[in-house]
Amino acid sequence: MNVTERRICINSALILFGAMLLGVSSPPACGQNPKLDIKNLEPLAKKASEVVDVNLDGSLLKLASKFMTDEDDREGLEIVKGLKGIYVKNFEFDKPGEYSQADVEAIRNQLQTPSWSRIVSARSKHDGETTEIYLMTESDGGKVLGMAIINAEPKELTVVNIVGPIDINKLSSLEGKMGIPRLSEEEKESTKKSEGHDEKQK
């Protein structure tokens, strides 16, 4: 083995060692990423009559926080300041039944990892609406790292992904803003309608 061959051999070993180190260190970081790959829903866009994407990443959230100046916005502002992004994808269909639960699996599959847990699953038989709320928490079960909301109606499907630390107690202050559905109202409504019609799990 001459000098050049030895150098190539050493370099290869170093690259391999580096790759092994990266391989060992990266999986936990990947496993804790609350940003969903919403692009997986792209095939659904062809079936939908209308598709709206809202993209509020870091710089836009900073911008949004500048006009949250009302007294009512104080809690919302605290949440927004810590967030990395809010992403909303809304599909509207001409007729009911134009998308199936299998179409939503592309998102649900991403929420099957141990770091995500479903905290709300509400279904209204009356209007056929289902709402699921998932939280990603730190591995010790402490801090909330992100949130996902899947709201499925017969002619409309909305997926919301909130990335960043969230104080669940203050989340209600963001409901109905930035594309986040009014969850408590929906729950109240479905509870009202539920008398004799609906079933609800929590």
Partner 1 sequence: MRNRNRLLAHAILIFVFLQFLPATAVAGDPEFHALVERVSAYYQKRPMRGMGLLSFIANRFTPQGVGHFQMAIFDDITSPRTALREELESSLQGLVGPDYQPFVRAQDNRGGDLTIIYIRESGKQSFEMLIISIDSSDAVLMKMRLRPEAMREWMDEPVERGKGSSHHGGSSAGK
| Contact residues for partner 1, defined by CB under 8 A | 45-46, 48-57, 59-60, 63-64, 66-67, 69, 88, 90, 92, 94, 158, 176-179
Residue 88 vs 106, nearer CB to partner 1:
88
Q: Between 116 and 129, name the residue whose CB sits nearer to partner 1.
A: 129
d(CA 139, CA 103): 29
Residue 115 CA to residue 4 CA, distance in Å, equals 48
For partner 1, which is the closer residue by CB, 66 or 202? Answer: 66
Least distance from partner 1 to the Cβ atom of residue 110, Å: 21
CB of 31 to partner 1, least distance (A): 29
Of 53 and 127, the one with the shorter C-beta distance to partner 1 is 53
Q: Which residues contact 171 (CB under 8 A, 6 or more apart)?
A: 79, 147
- Residue whose CB is less far from partner 1, 85 or 136: 85
3-class SS of residue 202: coil
Smallest gap from residue 155 Cβ to partner 1 (A):
13
Nearer to partner 1, 177 or 193 (CB): 177
CB of 122 to partner 1, least distance (A): 20
185, 131 contact by CB (below 8 A): no
Q: Please state the closest distance from residue 194 (CB atom) to partner 1, in A.
A: 26
Smallest distance, Å, CB 97 to partner 1?
A: 17
Long-range contact list for 107-116, CB < 8 A, 24+ apart? Answer: 107/36, 107/38, 107/40, 107/41, 107/148, 107/150, 107/159, 108/150, 110/36, 110/37, 110/40, 111/36, 111/148, 113/31, 115/31, 115/32, 115/139, 115/145, 116/148
Nearest 5°: CA angle at 114, between 110 and 118?
A: 70
